[in-house]
Structure 1
Amino acid sequence: MNSLPVVPMVVILGFVAAITIGRWFLVAETLGDRLVNRALAWDLVGLVLFVCVGRLGAADLAFDLFTIFGAFAVANVFGFARSLDGGDPRTAVRRQRIYDGMAVAAGCVVLVGIMAARTDWGPTVWSLTTVPTAWSGLHITRACLRELRTAGIAAKERLTYGALLFVGGYAAVSTMVSLVRTANGTRPDEPGLPWVIGAYATLVLLTALIAIPLWYAVLARTELDRAGRCCRRLRPLWLALTDAVPEVVLARPSGGSASRLYRMTVEIRDALVRLRPYVPDVEAHTDIREYARGIARAVQAKAAGEAPAMASGRATPVDPRDRTDELRYLLALAVEWPKARALVRAGSNLRRAEPISPRWRRRAPACSADRAPTARSAG
């Protein structure tokens, strides 16, 4: 497998390493995610050692090390394939301990062979690991066929399961063919350039499929997905309303942008309900610009310590059970919010700072204690 040139090999290993590191930090919520991450990490370590040690001239040692780490990768792949193909999730952890124990035993056998200078033990153990690899491919193939037969599956999911079906089928067939070729005398670490290209191409395709959840996780973390973009548009309104009514703030559970958007809409709606009594002259069915200015005045009134003038009313003129219409209305309100708040603040500052004009003084009644009443006022 060292017959591939150095540059494409380094590019492939760098791609796998980047996806592996990204998934360890961003995609590790479920047991299936963690099994995939561990399998990818073990396989990456084994490949790096195989390439580096093999380039130094120790081909047998390189293959033995690759076999040790490959056994751990196969154990995690088999655990993931069993879970994907309908394995009982309640016993998944216990099953995985058994698979990991078998991988440790295989690794110990290879280590004993290395210390005993038995170069034939590595290929033997590798041949044994091809059986669970092929079995994993069959599990993945059956699970993908079952999902592809499901009615109403989206095109994106159909494409993903189709690619995974190809990988699973290739893994099942290629490992069995490789096992037959090894039995006929072909070294498993030098199967020939076409097989090496196929193995690395499968690794790249499988890594690209594994990178899809990582891509979605990066979009959610940077708020570049649809829910995240809505959160960014709602944030100025949400911050202002939750600062004014902090008792509506819910707990902050861990979750993606979709759960964050849902929590923000609930908190905004609750805050609007609590602020409505401060602006009794603004009905929820008025123009959204007027409604935004009314809510801005309510925030100002509550901050000034004024008492509410009426009982709580509806937050918005839309039905809160219709999440789509409610979100659309709140996004429109968020667009008007900066302008409405600026107008209310400007009007408040103008009323506080405006001096009394001379005309107003002439029209004002003489109520000062140092002015004597005129004859007209006295009369």
Structure 2
Amino acid sequence: MSTLPVAGVVSVAVFIAAIVVGRWFLVNELLTDRLINSTLSWDLAGIVLYQAASVRGMPELADRLFLGFGAMALANVYGLARLLDGMDPAVLRARQRRYNRIGAATGTLVLFGPVLVDLLGLPLGSPAVQNRVIWTAGSFVGSLCGALIARACVRELRTPDPTSRERWAYSALLAVGLYCCLASAVGTINVARGMSSMEPGLPWAVANFVMLAVLTALIAIPLLNAVLVRSGFDRNGRACRRLHPLWRDLTTAVPEIVLLQDDSHRDEPMMRLYRMTVEIQDALLHLRPYEPAPSDEPGVEDYARRIAHAARAKATGEPPRPPDGRPAGAVQTLGTDDRATGLRDLLRLAKAWPKESLRV
């Protein structure tokens, strides 16, 4: 890992830091998410400290900072790999504490090894030899993690009928896992031949950049989805906004159909959309007796006009019309087995819904 231009390191660090902070706040519920976030945090700290020490002309300290913080990152990666490979989350939670203790002990030895060697007079060889041993051990663990991740991805890809998104995600993660195995093996061989473990060469530097881009994209996808959900720009949030004028007017006219508020799901767009569709459909049924006769050109616009008239009639206290045996309106009642079609019909009704429908 050679010294990079300061501006380039700052740009990369800011980008990774933004992802890390965003994930800690928005994508941190599952054990998988917490392991990924911890890994990114330790990696970010190692990269920044490595570059800072390198810029100040302390290459040996830079290597030790990178390897020391990398030991903690590797402990979390190993836990993530075991989880993806099928380990029970409850078992992994207990074992992850052990992995973290091993990573912390290894990182401490890496950082303070020279001081301990000088104090105790242990014949552990030169710092370069110590780094080679540490790098070889880390490469072995990295290769094991890559193999576990690759095996998990192959198993998921062989399941019947994976979605296109799942197939692309697992294929990309499979490529990352196989690359970890290959890069760790090549790195170990290079270290054994006396080459610098921190200078991969141009071909591997390009491969590292490509794999980093793929891995960053995979990690950023859940964050992007969380941001979209929080901002209301996901599919369910957009549907809620389009339905809101219709829902507001109908629940104003028929307040008795409003469901009890469930605060545990208040901010979830999917549950909010489901609640809105149920209440709209209930309101349409309650307003049925107040609808005027359809026009000669029935359609969604005519149906919206008639429902708006019925809402005004009920809101102003007019009596319902006598039953006349008319067929059901243009928008069908939402059924549990055809929810997608029912939602599309309600969105068409919301688009045709007249403005100021209850103020005329």
| TM-score under structure 2 length normalisation | 0.81
Name the aligned partner's letter for residue 280 of structure 2.
I
- 1:107–1:164 distance in 2 versus 1, CA, 3 Å: same
8 Å Cα contact 2:3/2:54 also seen in 1: no
Residue 15 of structure 1, CA deviation = 3.1
8 Å Cα contact 1:233/1:331 also seen in 2: yes
Match of 1:67 in 2: 67
Aligned partners of 1:54 and 1:193: how far apart in 2?
A: 20
Match of 2:342 in 1: 326
Match of 1:90 in 2: 90
1:171 is aligned, of 162, 180, 203, to 180
Match of 1:336 in 2: 352
- 1:297–1:63 distance in 2 versus 1, CA, 3 Å: same
Aligned partners of 2:266 and 2:158: how far apart in 1?
A: 34
Equivalent position SS for 1:338: coil
1:55-204 equivalences in 2 (<5 Å): 55-113=55-113, 115-116=115-116, 119=127, 121-204=130-213
Q: Percent identity?
A: 45
- 1:59–1:243 distance in 2 versus 1, CA, 3 Å: farther
Residue 171 of structure 1, CA deviation = 0.6
- 1:248–1:57 distance in 2 versus 1, CA, 3 Å: same
**Larger Rg: 1 or 2?**
1
8 Å Cα contact 2:169/2:218 also seen in 1: yes
Equivalent position SS for 1:345: coil
Equivalent position SS for 1:248: coil
Match of 1:235 in 2: 244
1:251 aligns with 2:262: yes
Cα deviations across residues 320-358 of structure 1 (Å, max 9, x unaligned)? 23212211221122123234x43x533xxxxxxxxxxxx
| TM-score under structure 1 length normalisation | 0.77
Match of 2:227 in 1: 218
- 1:304–1:231 distance in 2 versus 1, CA, 3 Å: same
Q: CA RMSD in A?
A: 3.1
Name the aligned partner's letter for residue 223 of structure 2.
L
Equivalent position SS for 2:57: coil
Residue 113 of structure 1, CA deviation = 1.5
Residue 226 of structure 1, CA deviation = 2.9
Aligned partners of 2:147 and 2:305: how far apart in 1?
A: 63
1:272 aligns with 2:287: no
Aligned partners of 2:229 and 2:7: how far apart in 1?
A: 33
Equivalent position SS for 2:345: helix
- 1:202–1:66 distance in 2 versus 1, CA, 3 Å: same
Aligned partners of 2:238 and 2:198: how far apart in 1?
A: 49
Aligned partners of 2:334 and 2:79: how far apart in 1?
A: 46
Match of 1:376 in 2: none
Aligned partners of 1:210 and 1:262: how far apart in 2?
A: 29
Aligned partners of 1:317 and 1:163: how far apart in 2?
A: 43
Tell me, which stretches of 5 or more residues in structure 1 are unaligned? 347-379
Aligned partners of 1:273 and 1:71: how far apart in 2?
A: 63
Cα deviations across residues 23-80 of structure 1 (Å, max 9, x unaligned)? 2232223111121111112111111111111111111111211122211111111111
Equivalent position SS for 2:359: helix
Aligned residues: 340
Residue 136 of structure 1, CA deviation = 0.8
Cα deviations across residues 82-101 of structure 1 (Å, max 9, x unaligned)? 11111123322112222112
Aligned partners of 1:254 and 1:193: how far apart in 2?
A: 52
8 Å Cα contact 2:42/2:73 also seen in 1: yes
